[in-house]
């Protein structure tokens, strides 16, 4: 049994004052939903502000990115130990990091191994672009992202890793994948690649989320798919009622 997980990726939105306001609104309704792991991933400036608000609330906190080195001359970056001060989770390899900040599968691999070493729960993003989707290369692209991104990770601890399948063409476009299409990619590409990198048991134990234009209205379509264990939510995670509705839809008490 894989516990469902719903994570909100706030991306570059909300000052600390705005973040505090959203968390104050969402705290009781979100924290009260059983049978699903809930995680908020605000900008890093808000992590120390939000962390104390979540004490005892059954809501996890995650960073949107981190560096793989433990310390040093890496201007603008956060080390795993710095993330760990406030967070239990970290998003790795988001398509926006790959597209705008030059992140490669090799970087993803270094970050993933550093997150595992730091005791964080990594949420590793994979997904094909529109061009790759239209030219029928989804399987090849996503499988490569997994094989390179997950290389040399200990299979004994693999079940801690969370994967987010986020087709780039569905992110922020309002054009979500169908539940059936996403389920097919998770079953035929993602779990297959995971079982090659690790083993079948590990592949079946790892949670795979869907991300890309998930809303309170379409969430149930994804969560009714057998291979989809939750969602990584962007835009809709900035609205308290939407995010609560998504978490409710994912709940398996
Ligand atoms: P949207 O939900 O805004 O499409 O963003 C998805 C995403 O990128 C989450 O990481």
* Cα 88 versus chain centre, distance: 12
pLDDT at position 79 over 90: yes
Specify which residues 39 forms β-bridges with: 7, 60
- CA–centroid distance, 65 to ligand 1, in Å, is 15
- CA–centroid distance, 73 to ligand 1, in Å, is 31
- CA–centroid distance, 232 to ligand 1, in Å, is 7
Nearest to 105 by CA among 211, 228, 214, 193: 193
For ligand 1, pick from 7, 8, 9 the residue to mutate: most ligand atoms within 8 Å of CB: 9
pLDDT at position 115 over 90: yes
Residues carrying an active site annotation: 94, 166
pLDDT band, very low/low/confident/very high, at 161 (cuts 50, 70, 90): very high
Q: How confident is the model at residue 203, as a pLDDT? A: 97
**What total number of domains does the chain contain?**
1
- CA–centroid distance, 20 to ligand 1, in Å, is 21
Task: Tell me the mean pLDDT in the region 214-241.
Answer: 98
Q: Domain containing 243 — which CATH number?
A: 3.20.20.70
- Provide the whole-model pTM: 0.98
- Work out which ligand 1 atom sits closest to the CA atom of 236: 2
pLDDT band, very low/low/confident/very high, at 95 (cuts 50, 70, 90): very high
pLDDT band, very low/low/confident/very high, at 153 (cuts 50, 70, 90): very high
Angle at the Cα of 82 from the Cα atoms of 77 and 87, rounded to 5 degrees: 115
pLDDT at position 1 over 90: no
The domain containing residue 214 runs over which residues?
Answer: 5-250
pLDDT at position 187 over 90: yes
pLDDT tens for residues 205-217?
A: 999 999 999 999 9
Q: How confident is the model at residue 139, as a pLDDT? A: 98
Task: Kindly report the protein residue whose alpha carbon is nearest to atom 7 of ligand 1.
Answer: 234
Protein residues with CB under 6 Å of any ligand 1 atom: 9, 94, 166, 171-172, 211-214, 232-236
Task: Kindly report the protein residue whose alpha carbon is nearest to atom 1 of ligand 1.
Answer: 234
d(CA 204, CA 131): 30
- Work out which ligand 1 atom sits closest to the CA atom of 91: 10
pLDDT band, very low/low/confident/very high, at 253 (cuts 50, 70, 90): confident
């Amino acid at each position: 049994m894989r516990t469902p997980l719903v994570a909100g990726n706030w991306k570059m939105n909300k000052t600390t004052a705005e973040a505090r306001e959203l968390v104050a609104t969402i705290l009781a309704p979100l924290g009260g939903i059983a049978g699903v792991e809930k995680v908020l991933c605000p900008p890093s400036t808000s992590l120390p502000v939000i962390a104390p608000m979540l004490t005892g609330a059954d809501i996890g906190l995650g960073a949107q990115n981190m560096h793989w080195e433990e310390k040093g001359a890496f201007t603008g970056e956060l080390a795993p130990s710095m993330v760990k001060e406030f967070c239990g989770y970290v998003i790795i390899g988001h398509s926006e990091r790959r597209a705008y900040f030059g992140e490669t599968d090799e970087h993803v691999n270094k970050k993933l191994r550093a997150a595992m070493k730091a005791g964080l729960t990594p949420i590793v993003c994979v997904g094909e672009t529109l061009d790759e989707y239209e030219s029928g290369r989804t399987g090849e692209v996503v499988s490569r992202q997994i094989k390179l991104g997950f290389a040399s990770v200990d299979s004994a601890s693999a079940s801690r890793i969370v994967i987010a399948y986020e087709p780039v063409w569905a992110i922020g476009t309002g054009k979500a994948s169908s539940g059936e299409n996403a389920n097919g990619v998770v079953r035929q590409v993602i779990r297959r690649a995971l079982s090659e990198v690790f083993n079948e048991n590990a592949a079946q134990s790892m949670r795979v989320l869907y991300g890309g234009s998930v809303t309170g209205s379409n969430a149930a379509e994804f969560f009714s798919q057998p291979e989809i264990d939750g969602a990584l939510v962007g835009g809709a995670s900035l609205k308290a009622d939407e995010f609560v509705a998504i978490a409710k839809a994912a709940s398996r008490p």
